[in-house]
Amino acid sequence: MIEIKDVTKSYDRIKAVDNVSVTIRENTVFGLIGTNGAGKSTILRMASGVLKPDAGEITIDGLPVFDNMEAKNRIYFIADEPYFFANSNAIDMQKYLSSVYREFAAEDFYSYLVNFGLDKKRKINTYSKGMKKQLALICGVCSGARYLLCDETFDGLDPVMRQGIKSIFASEMERRGMTPIIASHNLRELEDICDHVGLLHRGGVLLSRDLEDMKCNIQKVQCVFKTTEDEAKAISCLDIMKNEKRGSLNVLTVRGNKAEILAVFATVNTVFFEALPLSLEEIFISETEVVGYDIKKLILG
The DSSP letter of residue 300 is: B
Per-residue model confidence as pLDDT tens for the chain (301 residues): 999 999 999 988 888 888 888 899 888 899 888 766 778 889 999 999 999 999 999 999 999 999 898 999 999 999 988 889 999 999 999 999 999 998 999 999 999 999 999 999 999 999 998 899 999 999 999 999 999 999 987 776 778 888 888 888 888 898 888 999 998 877 777 777 888 888 887 667 766 778 777 777 888 999 999 999 999 999 999 999 888 888 899 999 998 888 889 999 999 999 999 988 787 777 777 766 665 555 555 444 4
CATH class of 217-297: alpha beta
Strands, sheet with 239-246, edge to edge from the N-terminal-most edge strand? 239-246, 249-255, 218-225, 270-276
Torsion on CA atoms 145, 146, 149, 154, rounded to nearest 10: 90
The DSSP letter of residue 236 is: H
Can you give the pLDDT at residue 299?
A: 47
**Rounded Cα distance, 222 and 273, in Å:** 6
- In CATH terms, the fold of domain 2-209 is Rossmann fold (3.40.50)
Can you give the pLDDT at residue 197?
A: 85
Strands, sheet with 2-11, edge to edge from the N-terminal-most edge strand? 14-24, 2-11, 55-60, 63-64
Pinpoint the residues of the chain covered by CATH 3.30.70: 217-297
Structure pTM? 0.78
Pinpoint the residues of the chain covered by CATH 3.40.50.300: 2-209
